[in-house]
Structure 1
Amino acid sequence: MDEDIRLGVLLPTGQGQWGEGTDPRRLVDFAVRAEELGYASVWANDSLLQPRVEALTMLAAVSSVTERVTIGTAALMPVLRRPVQAAQALASLDLLSGGRLAVAVGAGFPGRFGRPLYELSEVPWERRFARLDDTVALWRHIWTTRTASSYQGPVLRFDELPPGTAPYRAGGPPIWLGGATPAALARTGRLYDGWLPYPPDAADYGSGLADVRGAAAGAGRAPGAVTPALFATILITEDVAAGRRALDAYSRANYGLPLEVAETIQTMIAGPYEHVAERLGRYVDAGARHIVCRIGALDLSSQLDQLGRVIGLQESLKVKRP
């Protein structure tokens, strides 16, 4: 098993994270700075419900000015795009980045950030998980088929498919899943290349990862077939109280929820460096190896300041050896 701990960072593509009067083209500079500081990856999230730079457009811009970092979606909502067009866009992005793309996907969840997206896309909410898995299977079919073909899945059916653009890597970019329900854990182990959840309790992460690995073994996959990742909202502050106040403002601005509600749903950690490192260390001990950090700040200057602080956590997050 890979014992290295990798840190990634979410690009603040939402308009609410730029700050008033900020030129959004500075987001490209943010990605360049992340690479210079030693981050392993930069990520963009996806939505139609908040003003933001579209995820694949953002990553295309980033791919042209970086050389080493993985560029990824955290998470892409395939329902927002026509499936064949999305396969072409992702293959093109993998080509242009020299094979540096990782695609974390999700189906959405009930509430504000779920069903309304399906309504905007004129796609039924029902069978959304089957549709997600089928879309990923279609992408892989297109990426690996060099002649005209057809595709007949449980949800998607195409009698005539022209040859698609071949990605940089044989088989296409790795695809991760972001869910943590029992069904999602089983599907991750059987079908996906990585797991990117955000459970608020490290113990739940550990038990979930065990289920993912059990499902992978049951499907005859290699022990390291699924990358164990974590999505965590992070803020380094002078003390825990100040950090919680800042995360509360961030949560209300992004979700319309107070921190005490949001932190029961996802991983959110703020406070002095040692406190954040200790809390993240629990997830490392539970098996997480690639941590995607969303910085909980509401303007680009603060995001850039935190970018230099958060990368220091990588040195502290050592794997405990027997």
Structure 2
Amino acid sequence: MDIGVLLPTGAAQWGADGDPRDLVGFGRRAESLGFSSLFVNDSLISPRVEALTMLAALAPATETATLGTGALLPFLRRPIQAAQSLASIDLLSGGRLTVAVGAGFPGRFGRPFYTLSEVPWQRRFARLDDTVALWRALWDGADAFHGEILRFDDLPPATRPSRPGGPPVWLGGATPTALARAGRAYDGWLPYPPDPADYTAGLRDIHRAARAAGRAAERVTPALFVSVRIDEDVQSGRRALEDYARVAYGMPLEELERIQAVVTGSADQVLDGLTRYVAAGARHIVIRLGALDLRSQNDQLDRIAELISAVQASAERPSGPEMS
């Protein structure tokens, strides 16, 4: 059972008086408190420290934590250049990189980014799968790649990652198509369903798709992305998250909760909320801290760190969809 934290790389999260250089220290502190992974997100919505730049800074500054993207948007980058960057981070971290990817979403969270990147919105999922397949081919030393969309001949020698085959690549998303693709070709699944029951159902579909593709279901890491705020009670936590949702996402909390997993309340209430997802099958939880400056982020980090052992203990009880 792994519990990680999303670093507050957006300017809205580190606060008006915050120094983004403190994010490296924040990552080191999270590692020392027992968080087993440090994730960064990838977006053009607001000013932020670019995802791969942040992971490159964390690689020599940390020792044991997994360094992850949640989720990287590959279409924002040239695919061969991205493969080189990811392999370099994996090398600099001693093989600690995990790459969760996504294709973006309709509306302000996706389609405009394609226009800015000069990449067509159509067939975006096939392009994503092709990009990941290209990365893996480069990491294995291929000199050519002929995918459904991407085709390259005479590929130059690529930077090889620390691990044979490269870092694990997870898929975000929970549509039926995404579930089938995750089971068929990806190393993990990183969704954020508001209802734990939907997580269980999605994981069951992934296991089914994996077996149909001749893969062992346990090869797909079941992860979860969830926004968390520990406060006096649910009401006070929701008030704080209301401000967070409007600043970070430009939408009210009620709207955010319809599309993302959100857990708040007292420490006991948050523990109960997280263990419901553990019972649903999640085994790597990536926590987004619901706070709007680094001081408050550090406070939430301390509070959640006190729950880590309890959440991990809940994973020892039989739960989740059957693997058979």
Is the CA contact (8 Å cut-off) linking 1:199 and 1:267 kept in structure 2? yes
- Which of 19, 31, 45 is equivalent to 1:23? 19
Q: Which one is further off, 218-227 or 25-34?
A: 218-227
Q: Quick check: 1:61 aligned with 2:84?
A: no
Q: Quick check: 1:222 aligned with 2:219?
A: no
Which whole-Å deviations, capped at 9, do the CAs of 1:205-227 have from their partners, x for residues lacking one?
Answer: 00000001110111111231000
Output the amino acid matched with 1:14: G
Structure 1 counterpart of 2:299: 305
Q: What is the TM-score normalised by the length of structure 2?
A: 0.96
Structure 1 counterpart of 2:74: 78
SS in structure 2 of the partner of residue 28 of structure 1: helix
Structure 2 counterpart of 1:44: 40
Which whole-Å deviations, capped at 9, do the CAs of 1:279-321 have from their partners, x for residues lacking one?
Answer: 1111100100100000010000000111111122222221224
Is the CA contact (8 Å cut-off) linking 1:45 and 1:74 kept in structure 2? yes
- Which of 174, 177, 181 is equivalent to 2:175? 181
Distance 2:192 2:113 in 1: 21
Q: Which one is further off, 115-124 or 17-26?
A: 17-26
Distance 1:283 1:269 in 2: 10
Distance 2:188 2:210 in 1: 11
Q: Quick check: 1:200 aligned with 2:191?
A: no
Output the amino acid matched with 1:185: L
Q: Quick check: 1:169 aligned with 2:153?
A: no
Structure 2 counterpart of 1:132: 128
Displacement of 1:49 after TM fit? 2.4
SS in structure 2 of the partner of residue 164 of structure 1: coil
Q: Quick check: 1:281 aligned with 2:272?
A: no
SS in structure 2 of the partner of residue 265 of structure 1: coil
SS in structure 2 of the partner of residue 161 of structure 1: coil
Structure 2 counterpart of 1:210: 204
Q: Structure 1, unaligned stretches of length 5 or more?
A: none
Q: Quick check: 1:14 aligned with 2:10?
A: yes
Count of residues in Structure 1 that have an aligned counterpart in Structure 2: 316
Alignment RMSD, CA only?
Answer: 0.9
> How high is the sequence identity, in percent, across the aligned residues?
64
Distance 1:120 1:128 in 2: 15
Distance 1:39 1:290 in 2: 11
Distance 2:221 2:271 in 1: 21
Displacement of 1:22 after TM fit? 1.3
Q: Structure 2, unaligned stretches of length 5 or more?
A: 320-324
SS in structure 1 of the partner of residue 69 of structure 2: strand
Output the amino acid matched with 1:189: G
Q: Which one is further off, 6-15 or 275-284?
A: 275-284
- Which of 258, 261, 269 is equivalent to 1:264? 258
Is the CA contact (8 Å cut-off) linking 1:193 and 1:227 kept in structure 2? yes
Which whole-Å deviations, capped at 9, do the CAs of 1:126-157 have from their partners, x for residues lacking one?
Answer: 000000000000000000016xx211110101
Output the amino acid matched with 2:103: A
Structure 1 consecutive aligned stretches of length 4 or more whose deviation exceeds 3 Å: none
Is the CA contact (8 Å cut-off) linking 1:7 and 1:311 kept in structure 2? no
Q: What is the TM-score normalised by the length of structure 1?
A: 0.97
Structure 1 counterpart of 2:310: 316
SS in structure 1 of the partner of residue 84 of structure 2: helix
Structure 2 counterpart of 1:231: 225
Output the amino acid matched with 1:240: V
